[in-house]
Amino acid sequence: MPTRQSPHPIASNGARLRVLFAGICALILTVGLARFAYTPMLPVMHHEAGLTTLAAGWLATFNYAGYITGALIAAAVGNLRQKFVMYRIGLVLAVVTTAALGFTDNTAVWAVLRFVSGLSSTAGLLLASGLALNWLIRHGHRPELGLHFTGLGLGVVVSGLAVGAMMDRLGWAQQWVGLGLLGLVFFVPAWLWLPSPAASGPLGGAGAKTAVVPPPRRWMALFIAVYFCAGFGYVISATFIVAILDKLPALADKGGWVWVIVGLAAAPSSFVWDRLARSMGDLQALLLAFGLQTVSIILPAMTLNLPLNLLSAVLYGGTFVGIVSLTLTLIGRSFPDNPAKAMARLTLSYGVAQIVAPAMAGSIAAQTGSYRGALVITAVVMLAGMGLLLVMLRACIARCLLPQ
């Protein structure tokens, strides 16, 4: 694939690592703490704050509604400097909304806070990703985000370890405040080390345009449908895996540590999927990741066996980051002039799935007393996504993106 000629001198490897570290910290803060900490906090919220299963599903839905709202805003904004301002606002909102959850037990206020925290998560997942990728391209570095997306897995580890460390020492409210304070540790480098596009040199201009031809509309439409299925598969486990495994006798009141296992599997996975994509192709790697994640979803629905359920957590952690990383990197390379906008457009379908799925799962669990039905439905949706990927692989519109 042809690439742009960088309008800037090739930046040092140290500068590259600082930019990527800023992105990692942004992901840990806005996704790992502001968004993912809700998962290991669910059991204590149930036991101490009186949060019902149905309300838990709706709070997750509000969070993902905030995320899709942020994606809509990001898709509507084409100016990179404006995206940078939005990125910094998102960092502030992530800290504030996380800590604020501990100052109220009103479900309606929780819903508002979860919505805003979802809004802030686009700062790390979309804006930081796009800004970092744009910086890498413009400064002559390989346009890959594998290192950046380790922040997703590390965010899971950080939130899981933090909740596990506070579980027997603090009440639910103090834990949320503690998570907000912990977020300040990641706020500082995320704020300081991701450079403003204004400070990175001129934007746009005929000489800065890329020679990359955007993919056809049909390819994009298929990919949007595929990513909807990925969002459905991701969000059910992301929201409920701790609550599901916490009910296993061997993991009673220890389900939060499963979240750490998920994170440990997720942290290095983006590197693995980057290498697999180089050797076998992006879409083939995505197909493999979808298949493994489908297995991770169906295992808890089929068995109470502890080793198999822990395997489910490892498979989930090892695939959900890979799916996001492969998808957003591929889209960013396909639209290098404004990758954040293209990522946001694709992510809207991912966000729609994240609104629908948690409410569905919470409703089914409330009626049946089990998450099994929701897991089965989710596995079917993931299989549909695999079918769409096969269509893309067999279509001539996908051939230009396969290894030659």
Over residues 130-180, the pLDDT tens digits come to 888 888 878 777 766 778 888 888 998 899 889 988 988 899 999 999 999
Domain count, the chain: 1
- What is the mean pLDDT of the segment spanning 366-383? 85
Q: How far is it, in rounded angstroms, from Cα 311 to Cα 323?
A: 18
Q: Give the CATH number, domain containing residue 103.
A: 1.20.1250.20
Amino acid at 75: A
Q: How far is it, in rounded angstroms, from Cα 165 to Cα 182?
A: 12
Cα distances from 242 to residues 41, 213, 239, 247, in angstroms, run 9, 43, 8, 9
Percent of the chain topping pLDDT 90: 30
- What is the mean pLDDT of the segment spanning 40-55? 87
Domain annotation covers residue 283: yes
Amino acid at 209: K
Is residue 213 pLDDT above 70, yes or no? no
Domain annotation covers residue 8: no
Domain annotation covers residue 129: yes
Q: How far is it, in rounded angstroms, from Cα 312 to Cα 357?
A: 19
Q: Residue 272: give the domain boundaries.
A: 13-202+210-401
Domain annotation covers residue 3: no
Domain annotation covers residue 7: no
User: How many other CB atoms sit within 10 Å of the CB of residue 287?
Assistant: 20
- DSSP per residue over 257-286, as a string? HHHHHHHHHHTTHHHHHHHHHHHH-HHHHH
Largest interatomic CA distance in the chain: 63
Mean pLDDT of the chain: 82
Higher pLDDT, 30 or 349: 30
Q: How far is it, in rounded angstroms, from Cα 153 to Cα 142?
A: 22
Task: Find how far residue 305's CA is from the centre of its chain.
Answer: 28
- DSSP per residue over 166-178, as a string? HTTTS-HHHHHHH
Lowest model confidence (mean pLDDT) among 278-282, 305-309, 339-343: 339-343
Q: How far is it, in rounded angstroms, from Cα 186 to Cα 373?
A: 38
Closest CA to 73 of 33, 34, 123, 30: 123
- Residue 335, CB half-sphere, CA atoms under 13 Å: how many? 21
Q: How far is it, in rounded angstroms, from Cα 314 to Cα 356?
A: 25
The SS3 call for residue 90 is helix
Domain annotation covers residue 393: yes
The most confident of the ranges 158-167, 204-213, 339-348, 355-364 is 158-167
